[in-house]
Amino acid sequence: MHLEGFFVLLGSNVLRDADAILPAAQALLERGEEDQAVDGGRGEMPWTVAMANTIGKLYVTTYWGNAAAFEVFLASLTLALRGENVDRAFWGLGSGGVGQSLQTAHLEAILGQYHSCLDMNIYFVDEEMRKQAASLVGKIVVTGQESVQGSRRPMREDIYKKHISADKVPERLPYAIQTALVELRGWKRFELNALPKFLGQFSGVTEENVDSIMRRTAVCRFKSSFVDMAKLPDVEDREKLAAAHGIFPRDPTLKDFLRDKPACLVTLRCIWNYARRKTAEQCRNVLEQYVVHGGDEGLTRSSVRRSCGLTVEETVTKDPIQEILTGLAEKGKKKDEDRTAQQKEDDAFLQQICTWLRQERKDWFTVAQLKVAKNKYVFDFNKQNAQTYIQRLAKAGKLIGTSAVLPKVGQCEVYLPMISFETPLEEAVPQTFDENLFFPEKYDVSNMQRRLAPGSSRTLNLKILAQLYRKRHQPEGTGKKRGAPRRRLDAETDDAQLAQQLLQTLDRENSIFAKVARALDASQREQSHACESLVFQQEYYYPQKTRCRRYATGTVGAQGVSRLARAICFPDTLDYDIVASMFNIVVQLVDLVKPKDVELPSWRAVVADRANTCRQELDCSEATGKQVLIEVACGAVVTKFSHLGGQAVRFLNALSDESRQLRWLACSQMQKEYNELRQHSKNTWPEASIFSSWWTSAEDYILQYMIEEVQQHGVQGHLSCHFDGLLLGREMVETIQCKTGKTMDVLLQDAVMRQTPFRIRLKEKTVQTLDAQLARSMTQITSWTGLGVHTDLLAAVPNSIPAAMVFLGVDLEVVVARLRMETPANTRAHARRIRQYSDWHGCDGVYLLPTRCCTTDMSMNFLLHMELPEASFCMGVKVGDGNTIAVMHNGKLYEGTRPALVELIDAYVGTKETFCFQTKADDPELDETEGSFLDLLAGSSAVGSSRKRPAAAMEDLGPRNEGEVVVGIELRNLLQTEVEVSMEKMKQ
């Protein structure tokens, strides 16, 4: 503010430039209101609360009953201080002694040379305006005092309007030759005891042009009176009683006080605070509200008309322009009301459609489907006119419509609800791809040769299981099917799916082994010594146009193999995964994009405590419940899990409804991608695909900063991406932890918290030993001494089957004698460290009945075949009363429950590659397929030197010498049948 009075307040040590004025003004205007009796010798200005109260009393008494006029005073002065012109002159009407001259003295003290008083004759004679205009240029406030009396000349309308509107007026100093045109900006205020006579009867002012004066005027009639104290009646509380009627005692010293620096500072603080709260537009609106919208109760209009000699209406005539504007506003308001009513109606329609879709388990619909909706669904619109309403909802942005090709229907329009949101996805999660896509993977060669080679026990077992599961329920004959298609039973479906999954696992592991074998051959040709490990640079890529999960390119790397194969190929690694990754990320992403009316109580319950949710709501273990929750959240039908009970079904239904709403939200945020997927793809469920892309973009965003945190330490080692976490080399992790003094999970969590809006919790999920898993899930009772002095013999790697048979009741001496016989089975076990279940079928009258993978409904003792990282292993399981079981491993006896065992297997290596053989006292009649399950192997080495190979190996290897005869289970059954028939004939 370039105010002379303001400069005086700043002190003599302040230079008049921006760098010096602004800090000084800030200190001056924001100074606290503490009493300072003396200036302390630093040139500070005295400041007291009493002074502030005096200024406040001045304005309260002067503008008694005129609060709106006082705000006009503040708004006008604020506009003028901002350098703007105030387009309305302020007429202050009062009979005298109402405090107007005090205000003028106060403003003059504040503004200094930027305030000026003018001679009111300038509005009567052109020459007076020319002479005074030069002294009015650059003034912030101009005050005119007292209207001209005794002159027969009326005020000039044109001069008044030019001055108030800051139009250019002529200016020429006395004796000057040239006349200049200047703009007189600022605030013009007049102190009047009576209304000025503008044009009276001599002018041509009519009803048509009187508004030109009114648009430039704001009138305030001061209602208070100031009298000597002696005139007040001598009664109790006389000042208070008089003040209630607008009568206040006069203070003769007030004018001098108002010219002091502290008083000026108080008013400056008032203007400062007002200007901080009000913009220029708001200040101008204050003036319009006062004059146009009745803030002055018609005073301005009546005063101007009286000054112009026009009749003052007893009832205020409305401004015709204002009438038009008011009519437009009312019309707009009515339109807004109609629009609001239609929006409410549309919201109701949309809610009914959403309810119908949820109950029908549908993500989208067509108009034809809506027309034939069941009568139990109530819609507030006529279903036969559904096309009109659906198009209206789509136009209003409440439905997403896109073209699609449907079976049996063809090209049609499909719709799904639009979920409104505050934050677009790209603002919550950057959609740019991460360019860091090459990472080293370190493979353990010896482990892979022992467990993943084409002739290894694990590979052969996978092949056996895949082939036999596929054949188990395959109908006989290859002729053309007749009649209605037979619905497959759950067991058939499960076996077919399991066979497909095992074949996929086998293909992936064969590919990864072939890659390592080729690299190993090349390495051995270049080096004389054997390689213990190989390092590959694995590249990743994004399969979609938008950010999503990154996938390994080419031959499947560490990302694409199972946890068991990962433990075989990368034994010296640690696996860090995000706990409940999908649920945690989705809930946080919803909070970031802020959708309307999307509540996720079921999802949030899983995030808060998944284990407790599985236990309380689903009544199952976390291992089982985890898979159920993921499947339902991704769109699986709840009826698939009806066996869990009524409470579980209710919770899963709620979870399913929320998941459907999340798919709608994802499609709403990714409409372009959804339309492309619908129109140009054969994807059968694009809504689920869009939902996956939606939340996995956030997952990859989190993964990006986890990778950066690991790499910034400059330590080399295994690093591979696994969607919801990282697989890191153990040595690298230990080095970084030693370097930073923090555990790796804490380091990664902190990095994500710093760089992203997400909060995650990591869990180290490295595959542990079977002993550790048993100790965690079951109770160790005691050491089992049933093997006696033969413990070392039966604890050998290939002898897990006979050891398990002894635990289930087979005579120990019979088993030991059988192990010491010179047989092809023992020779194979000695040479290749593997045994076959068929070799122990019928040992000591105990027969094996192949069932399937381990389940919670096993009621008889059984052998449990498992694929472990170090070997194919057999373990005996005794089934007790209720759910109790007992297992023996490495001479230790454990007790637990069947669900605990299933959960252990699923969390450890998975149930797909496990198999059970129930023990029977009678020889079961096994068909060709069931009997072939006995070809499964237990051990850990390849079959390269086998004298007798399992059936799964026959297609790859032939007999090794003339004395070797390969006899599989099929040929054995045929030979047995022929021998039995021959024996019967001999008896006859």
Kindly list the domain boundaries of the chain, sorted by start residue: 4-314, 341-413, 438-473+493-764, 770-987
Q: Does domain 4-314 have CATH number 3.40.50.300?
A: yes
Kindly indicate the confidence band of residue 14, based on its pLDDT and cuts at 50, 70 and 90.
very low
- Helix runs in 360-437, H state only: 367-371, 386-395, 425-428
Residue 891 pLDDT exceeds 90: no
Rounded to whole angstroms, the Cα distance separating 865 from 883 reads: 20
- Residue 470's identity, in one-letter code, is R
Instruction: Tell which wins on pLDDT, 979 or 842.
Output: 842
Residue 528 pLDDT exceeds 60: no
Return the H-helix or E-strand segment holding 168: strand 168-171
Residue 799 pLDDT exceeds 70: yes
Chain length of the chain: 988
At 246 the pLDDT is 80
At 320 the pLDDT is 58
Residue 651 pLDDT exceeds 70: yes
- Helix runs in 527-580, H state only: 563-569
Q: What is the mean pLDDT of residues 750-756?
A: 95
Instruction: Tell which wins on pLDDT, 772 or 589.
Output: 589
At 251 the pLDDT is 83
At 601 the pLDDT is 94
Rounded to whole angstroms, the Cα distance separating 350 from 418 reads: 9
Rounded to whole angstroms, the Cα distance separating 404 from 677 reads: 9
**Do 450 and 456 contact (CB within 8 A), yes or no?**
yes
Q: What is the mean pLDDT of residues 796-816?
A: 89
DSSP 509-535: HHHHHHHHHHHHHHHHHH-SSPPSEEE
> Residue 319's closest CA among 297, 301, 332?
301
Rounded to whole angstroms, the Cα distance separating 931 from 1 reads: 101
Q: What is the pLDDT of residues 386-419, one digit of tens each?
A: 888 888 888 888 999 998 888 888 888 999 999 9
Range name among 555-559, 740-744, 932-936 with the lowest pLDDT average = 555-559
**Do 874 and 804 contact (CB within 8 A), yes or no?**
yes
> Residue 778's closest CA among 859, 627, 880, 861?
880
At 198 the pLDDT is 52
Return the H-helix or E-strand segment holding 977: helix 969-987
Instruction: Tell which wins on pLDDT, 939 or 971.
Output: 939
At 602 the pLDDT is 95
Q: What is the pLDDT of residues 174-226, one digit of tens each?
A: 666 677 788 888 888 888 887 776 544 335 567 777 888 888 888 988 888 88
> The tokens of 533 are what?
């490990």
Rounded to whole angstroms, the Cα distance separating 796 from 791 reads: 9
Residue 256 pLDDT exceeds 90: no
At 488 the pLDDT is 43
Residue 316 pLDDT exceeds 90: no
Handedness of CA 564, 566, 569, 574 (dihedral sign): negative
User: φ, ψ for residue 778 (rounded to 5)?
Assistant: -130, 180
Kindly indicate the confidence band of residue 945, based on its pLDDT and cuts at 50, 70 and 90.
very low
**E strands, 100-153, in order:** 115-118, 141-145
Rounded to whole angstroms, the Cα distance separating 202 from 154 reads: 8
At 956 the pLDDT is 42
3-state secondary structure of 757: coil
Rounded to whole angstroms, the Cα distance separating 578 from 221 reads: 74
Q: What is the mean pLDDT of residues 856-864?
A: 84
> The tokens of 797 are what?
């790697």
> Residue 687's closest CA among 635, 622, 743, 742?
635
pTM of the model: 0.63
Give exposure, 350-368, as e/b (b: 16+ Cβ within 10 Å).
bebbbebbbeeeebbbbbe
3-state secondary structure of 620: coil
Residue 696 pLDDT exceeds 70: yes
Kindly indicate the confidence band of residue 442, based on its pLDDT and cuts at 50, 70 and 90.
very high
Instruction: Tell which wins on pLDDT, 772 or 157.
Output: 772
Query: Among the ranges 88-92, 191-195, 253-257, which has the highest mean pLDDT value?
Result: 88-92
> What percentage of the chain exceeds 70 in pLDDT?
83
Range name among 315-319, 323-327, 408-412, 547-551 with the lowest pLDDT average = 315-319
At 18 the pLDDT is 42
DSSP state of 414: E
Residue 745 pLDDT exceeds 60: yes
**CB-based contacts of 295: which residues, under 8 Å, 6+ apart?**
68, 72, 289
At 853 the pLDDT is 74
Residue 655 pLDDT exceeds 90: yes
At 946 the pLDDT is 36
At 969 the pLDDT is 54
At 268 the pLDDT is 84
At 736 the pLDDT is 95
At 475 the pLDDT is 53
Rounded to whole angstroms, the Cα distance separating 399 from 841 reads: 65
> What percentage of the chain exceeds 90 in pLDDT?
25
Q: What is the mean pLDDT of residues 763-779?
A: 85
Averaged confidence pLDDT in the chain: 81
Give exposure, 725-753, as e/b (b: 16+ Cβ within 10 Å).
bbbbbeebbebbeeeeeeebbebbbebbe
- Residue 13's identity, in one-letter code, is N
